[in-house]
Amino acid sequence: MGVGIQVNKLNAWFGKTQALYDITMEAPANHATAVIGPSGCGKSTFVRCLNRMHETVPEARATGRVQIGELDVYNGTSAVQIRRRIGMVFQKPNPFPTMSIYDNVAAGLKLNGFHDHKRLDEIVERSLKLSALWDEVKDSLRKKSGASLSGGQQQRLCIARALAVEPQVLLMDEPCSALDPISTGKIEELIFQLKEKFTIVIVTHNMQQASRVAEFTGFFLLGKLIELDKTEKIFTTPSDKRTEDYITGRFG
Amino acid sequence: MPERGTTSVRHVVPPIALRRRITDHVMTGVAVLTVILVLLPLFAIFAYLVYRGIGSINWAFLTQTPKPVGEAGGGMANAIAGSAFILLIASVIGVPVGIGAGIYLAEYGRNQLGNIIRFTADVLNGVPSIVIGIVAYGIVVLSQGHFSALAGGVALAIMMIPTITRTTEEMLLLVPNAVREAAYGLGVSRWRTTLSITLRTATSGVITGVMLAFARVAGETAPLLFTAFGNQYWNWKINQPTAALSLQIFTYAISPFDEWHRQAWAGALILIVLIVFAVSAVRIVAGRGMLKGAN
């Protein structure tokens, strides 16, 4: 089951440059929340703060409170522990190039010391089925490298890899921006199904995508969360002038 | 002039394209020529070694120790084994240290200490091998009180380390950051990511660096002169003077005896063949298990 996300006064910096200002928001459990906004507005930084990936960049830091279910992300838990609970899918598909398809999916478990082969087989199969890739790869699980798949398949492989560690939240940072429309369609369909099991936060450049997959949408501008509301409302009657300007294409 | 409408592609190609095609052919030719120039010395050396050395290679040469001056026959078996022994010692010391330092430089070395290590490695790479021999003499031979295989191994290890360090660093830096982030995103700790993901992704490049360093020191003579020292007999003890092919070749080549000259040629041929064999063997073993479509 997914859990809700609560963010309170989140600030983030790259060195001396502030990237996020006092973000306070909520993403309900088992729903998809989309994050939109023009390039450089802090969307990616925002989701990377949710699983503390932000701090892997040299000189980057963040303050504030992020609560994921019972978990206080910035207090009392190690970043590594957090990331095992929160799956992440990146903009560009990034399978481990020297690993087989099987090992790619099993990587999160194996590298953290889980070696029960029978259970691993089950988990790999289940994850690949969840990410709708099973039928395409089931005959070459151990023979082919993850890098030998097409871009869309690679991205679904990365989703399977993230799901295999059974996270409660799935963060997706523009997961379709490097994909063709057919692959994009498959992944959007997938997001729709995954909502039953996970809470999803998805960054997207594509407003249609936000309206297709997400119940809630937040609009970011210059590092600030301008508004967050039901997706329908954001796209029809936004309460802020700046949101309206953005979605009607007046800038961005 | 062909009529309008029936123009073949050939005719509508403007003259500039002809010039481009010629340039294309010329440049390809130049590239092929340079490849030949690179390969030629290698094959020339190898052919000449075969020509001079093959006659003296026989079963005795590969299985016996040297005979005293004046007696015919004898071989370099102890030197072949000694070289392998010393190189094994050098690799056991040099490869882990080199790779470890390379990992540090690539993953943690964006700081002053990293710059110092980088600079030191580059300088060390340029230190003449005889000087490294003297250092190993000072550190190992003097403290032990006698020449030894260990001293030779240490000298060669010191020569291997900078090459391995720098190539390991370069290869790890070639691994896209996205691959590291993928592992971090799964909750894999940093050291585990470095060892199981980054290093594994860069394996083939790192092995190339190791093999480069290995091949480079395998034929070194100067650093062994006053460390391993040489030995006319078998030795398997790590703290005893040990024969090495390169030393044996050196000794025989500067001797006044024709028989020894012939054996020096044969030794040189064996040395080259063994290096090629070792490098290829590692490549094949390391290449096994590579997946379809990887890299």
Percent of chain A with pLDDT over 90: 48
Each domain of chain B, given as residue ranges in start order, spans 80-245
Buried b (16+ CB within 10 A) or exposed e, B89-116: bbbebbbebbbebbbbbbbebeeeebee
Q: Is B186–A84 a contact, with Cβ atoms under 8 angstroms apart?
A: yes
B294 pLDDT higher than 70: no
- Please say if the pLDDT value at position B1 is more than 50: no
Q: Which of A56, A96, A149 sits opposite B184 (nearest CB)?
A: A56
* Residue A250: per-residue pLDDT: 75
* Residue A189 resides in a domain: yes
List the single residue in A81, A98, A147 with the smallest CB-CB distance to B200: A98
| Number of domains present in the structure of chain A | 1
Contacts of A190 (CB under 8 A, 6+ apart): A130, A131, A132, A156, A159
Q: How far is CA B97 from each of CA B91, B161, B175, rounded to the nearest angstrom? A: 10, 7, 21
CB B166 within 8 A of CB B220: no
Q: Is A208 among the domain residues?
A: yes
Mean residue pLDDT of chain B comes to: 89
pLDDT of residue A173: 92
Beta bridge partners of A100: A145
Is residue A119 situated within a structural domain? Answer: no
- Residue A106 counted as domain residue: no
Provide the pLDDT for residue B12.
65
Angstrom CA distances, A224 to A83, A218, A241, B141, B273, stand at: 25, 10, 14, 68, 67
A132 belongs to a structural domain:
no
CB-based contact, A112 to chain B, within 8 Å: yes
- A131 within a domain of the structure (yes/no): no
d(CA A55, nearest CA chain B) in Å = 11
Which one, of B289, B285, B180, lies nearest residue A98 by Cα?
Answer: B289
A150 touching B, CB under 8 A?
no
In this complex, do A80 and B185 lie within 8 Å of one another by their Cβ atoms? no
Average pLDDT, chain A: 89
Closest Cβ–Cβ partner in B187, B189, B293 for A145: B293
For residues B289 and B286, what is the distance between their CA atoms, to the nearest angstrom? 8
Give the pLDDT mean for A207-219: 91
Please give the pLDDT value at position B268: 94
A35-70 pLDDT per residue, tens: 999 888 899 999 999 999 998 888 899 999 999 888
Q: Which domain holds residue A185?
A: 5-94+167-247
- pLDDT on residue B2: 47
> What is the per-residue pLDDT for B210?
93
Q: In this structure, what is the dihedral angle of CA atoms A228, A232, A233, A238, given to the nearest 10 degrees? A: 80
Which of B164-195 are b and which e, b meaning 16 or more Cβ less than 10 Å from the residue's Cβ? Answer: bbbbbbbbbeebeeebbbbbbbbbbbbeebbe
Q: With respect to residue A10, please indicate whether it lies within any of the assigned structural domains.
A: yes
The pLDDT score that the predictor gives to residue A177 is: 85
Query: Does CATH number 3.90.1580.10 belong to domain B80-245?
Result: no
Averaged over B97-116, what is the pLDDT? 94
What ipTM score was computed for the predicted complex, to two decimals? 0.89
Cβ atoms of B176 and A93 closer than 8 Å = no
CATH number at residue A192: 3.40.50.300
- Whether the per-residue pLDDT at B158 is higher than 60: the answer is yes
**Angstrom distances, CA of residue A114 to CA of A120, A165, B86, B189:** 8, 10, 40, 14
Q: What's the rounded Cα separation, in Å, for the pair B124 and B213?
A: 13
> Which residue of chain B is at minimal alpha-carbon distance from A108?
B186
B295 confidence band (pLDDT: 50, 70, 90): very low
pLDDT at site B11: 63
Which chain B residues touch A107 with a CB distance below 8 Å?
A: 183, 186, 188, 197
pTM: 0.83
